[in-house]
Structure 1
Amino acid sequence: MVGAGVLSLPYAMSHMGWGPGIVVLILSWVITLYTLWQMVQMHEMVPGKRFDRYHELGQYAFGEKLGLYIVVPQQLMVEVSLCIVYMVTGGRSLMKVHEILCDDCQPIRLTYWIMIFASVQFFLAHLPNFNSISSVSLLAAVMSLTYSTIAWAVSLRMGIQNAVGPVEYCLKSKTTTDNVFNFFNALGDVAFSYAAHNVVLEIQATIPSTPEKPSKGPMWKGVVVAYIIVALCYFPVAIIGYYVFGNNVEDNILLSLEKPSWIIASANIFVIIHVMGAYQVFAMPVFDMIETFMVKKIKLKPSGFLRYSVRTTYVAITMMIAIVLPFFGGLLGFFGGFALAPTSYYLPCIIWLIVKKPKRFGLSWWTNWVCIVIGVLLNIVAPIGGLRNIILSAKNYRLFS
């Protein structure tokens, strides 16, 4: 649940300001918790059948073919975008650790750090299945909670008086146009923090279920606990990080922190460990999808060579995109709106309206339509802000620098 997107929340706040920023944080938390509840409830809504994949739920609502065409591309975009962002995050965190621990060393290009991070993914990508990365996934979860806590705790200890430069809370840009586009990008940054919807049904599928004790009971308890932890991580990082650094905060809060150096280096190492595991959590379904397509549609023979080729090529492609576009804030804004908004904010609501058919103009009907309108607007404006941010950053970026 707690992803690397938490590190960009203070940066998002700097483009929204106190009032709108806190409203957006709370609204996103509430909407995504509500849509998660819907997915947990719909997992076994047909007696004797379990919808173990997001696309199976989509097929039930929209039809066999249309459901696949609507849901699968959305899921692929989410999973691929997360892998690209995690490549950038891993590379930047490695570079930060090197700068802290060896401040008199010759600087090493970000390109090489991304390649070093990718080299680990080339190895992990060839592990057989989710069970084989369970220990990596558990370690990644612990790391995400740890570096989130370090981010806000060190910022709080640092205080405004020790921050670099004067702390200002006015919007960063001087023109209305820049502020509007930056606000759009910030919306995408916040949306990027909520990616669990793409794997929630797969997780629920692992829970035993009987008519007397359906899986939705323990699953919902797990979701509630997870969202309490999310709130304890996201809100302090966003609010305290913005309070301490104002609009001078970096797009990754850990890059704004300098001392104590050993704690900041440790936090970045935790980020590296986390995104190593998280990359595989989102890459594994893509591997499965591509390999299944190759075997069933293209009629290739399932083999170790096919598996090796698909997985190595995928890691290489995400690595190259990360090297060409290593803009953390812009990528989060773009992918948060373009890829994550549909699956996390409004697609569950559309499916709910189709299959549950709540009373017209009733509370459930209005709630779902409000979420749909907010989600669609986010889906439109956030990628515009993110893309503009990437273009502006690219102007001053030398390829493979």
Structure 2
Amino acid sequence: MSNINTMEERPETELISIPATPRASTPEVLTPSGQRSPRPASKEAKSSTAWTPTSFISPRFLSPIGTPMKRVLVNMKGYLEEVGHLTKLNPQDAWLPITESRNGNAHYAAFHNLNAGVGFQALLLPVAFAFLGWSWGILSLTIAYCWQLYTLWILVQLHEAVPGKRYNRYVELAQAAFGERLGVWLALFPTVYLSAGTATTLILLGGETMKMFFQIVCGPLCSSNPLTTVEWYLVFTSLCIVLSQLPNLNSIAGLSLIGAITAVTYSTMVWVLSVSQPRPPNISYEPLSSASPAATVFSVMNALGIIAFAFRGHNLAMEIQATMPSTFKHPAHVPMWRGAKVAYLFIAMCLFPVAIGGFWAYGNLVSTLNAKAHNKFTIGKKKELLDVLAYVEKCRKSQLQRSPRVIK
């Protein structure tokens, strides 16, 4: 009974319930043991309403740099770069003229490849046919065209051969193939003399074209104190310097389109005007004979060299592809190859008609003075337009060929 009385007399303890939402004055935190404990009250009373940043630039403590989500994203980016889903970009490429802009597309690739692939070398193809004849001439030209297209496809694929790495220049590709030091020495000299030689040739041809156009348009009225040939070279170079102020390769895509149109136009005019006129008398389509077998061999080799000289543009393939964005789902070789196929369709429409139409119009007389006189009579009234088109095409090509391609 005494135990029962003791239990009845014991005072009841007060049950204190923890509120689900802590008071603003005593906020609660979660301790390592899992129990809630009140925080010390701040000296200044704080507003109970939550503050949401409305400005564009948030304070540093609201930045997600130190959050777990940011760390997860950084780790995921590093993993994707390692497996090749993302391309590691060289910070130096951001200020180089070629890779400064990476918003190229298939249209830009078509413009650049067409502008770089058609040149004045195509006008010499009938001379090669004069030494090879119909059969061997067409066969050699077809094989050279297929080989050019195949090697271009190889370069397009090699641009991103290693996942996560882009070879934007020949020097970088040579370093990957032959090593760091040997690759530089193997690719540096050919790239320098090709770029410098092409730019020098275009300056000489552009200055001569401007001089011829000025003489034709002005006539005897400007014969008192004309500019010399060297001065015309300086005029052409000055105009090229003005065009070279454009910042990157994508910014001159419109000029590449103009250069491609002029190249296709004057190539088409040459063979159309030649075919539309009566052929000269005593024309023959037999290959030119030489005095000795050695001379015949050298003539054939010269003709094959002319055909090979007509194909160009490989020295810009990797740089053109470097101006395009590339991701794992949308690699850069897809728009590059699409634009290259369109460009080489137009290149075939220029080279084959010039070679076949020119040889049909003049035969083996194409390399003699009779053919030159006939050509002057045929296109004499169109020479002004041809000179203008040739000048515009050479001025545009000089910008494309003189782009810095050696800097790594």
TM range (shorter): 0.5 to 0.7
Query: Once the 2 structures are TM-superposed, how far is the Cα of residue 103 of structure 1 from its aligned partner?
Result: 6.9
Query: How many pairs does the alignment contain?
Result: 286
Q: Secondary structure at the match of 1:261?
A: coil
Contact 1:152 1:241 (8 Å CA) reproduced = yes
Give the structure 2 partner of residue 87 of structure 1: 203
Change (3 A) 1:125 1:2: same
2:237 corresponds in structure 1 to 121
Amino acid at match of 2:164: G
> Separation in 2 of the partners of 1:159 and 1:117?
37
User: Which residue of structure 2 aligns with residue 201 of structure 1?
Assistant: 318
Distance 1:201 1:40, change over 3 A: same
> CA 1:226 to 1:119, structure 2 compared with 1: closer, same or farther past 3 Å?
same
2: CA distance between counterparts of 1:23 and 1:175?
25
Q: Aligned equivalents of 1:212 and 1:31: distance in 2? A: 29
Q: Secondary structure of the residue that 1:74 maps to in structure 2? A: helix
1:149 to 268, 286, 295: 268
Q: CA deviation at 1:77?
A: 2.6
Does residue 221 (structure 1) correspond to residue 338 (structure 2)? The answer is yes
- Tell me if the contact between 2:211 and 2:232 (Cα under 8 Å) persists in the aligned partners: no
Q: CA deviation at 1:167?
A: 2.0
2:215 touches 2:222 (CA, 8 Å); kept in 1?
no
Does 2:256 align with 1:140?
Answer: no
Of 143, 161, 179, 1:63 maps to 179
Q: From the superposition, tell whether residues 35 and 260 of structure 1 become closer, same or farther in structure 2 (CA, over 3 Å).
A: closer
SS of 2:403's partner is helix
Aligned partner letter, 2:311: Y
TM-score, L = length of structure 1: 0.63
Going from structure 1 to structure 2, the CA distance change for 1:251 and 1:42 (only over 3 Å counts) comes to farther
Q: Deviations 1:214-234 (Å, cap 9, x if unpaired)?
A: 111111111111111111000
Distance, in Å, in 2 between the alignment partners of 1:182 and 1:106 is 42
After superposition, the CA RMSD in angstroms is: 3.2
Matched residue, 2:128: 12
Give the secondary structure class of the aligned counterpart of 1:48. Answer: coil
Matched, 1:259 2:378: yes
Which one has the bigger helix percentage? 1
Please give the alpha-carbon distance, in whole angstroms, between the structure 2 residues aligned to 1:91 and 1:119. Answer: 7
User: For 1:115 and 1:37, how far apart are their aligned partners in 2?
Assistant: 42
Kindly report which structure 2 residues correspond to 1:211-290, keeping only aligned pairs within 5 A, or say none: 211-249=328-366, 256-285=375-404, 289=406
Label 1:218 to 1:136 Cα distance change in 2 as closer, same or farther (>3 A). Answer: closer
Q: CA deviation at 1:278?
A: 0.7
Give the C-alpha shift of residue 12 in structure 1. 2.0
Q: Structure 1: which 5+ runs fail to align?
A: 294-401
- Measured after TM superposition, the shift of residue 70 of structure 1 is 1.2
How much has 1:181 moved relative to structure 2? 2.0
Distance in structure 2 (CA, Å) of the matches to 1:251 and 1:115: 31
When residues 65 and 184 of structure 1 are mapped into structure 2, their CA distance, relative to the original with a 3 A threshold, is same
User: Identity rate of aligned residues, in percent?
Assistant: 32
The 3 A distance-change label for structure 1 pair 242 and 193 is: same
The AA in structure 2 aligned to 1:210 is T
C-alpha displacement of 1:19: 1.9
What is the Cα deviation at residue 173 of structure 1? Answer: 5.2
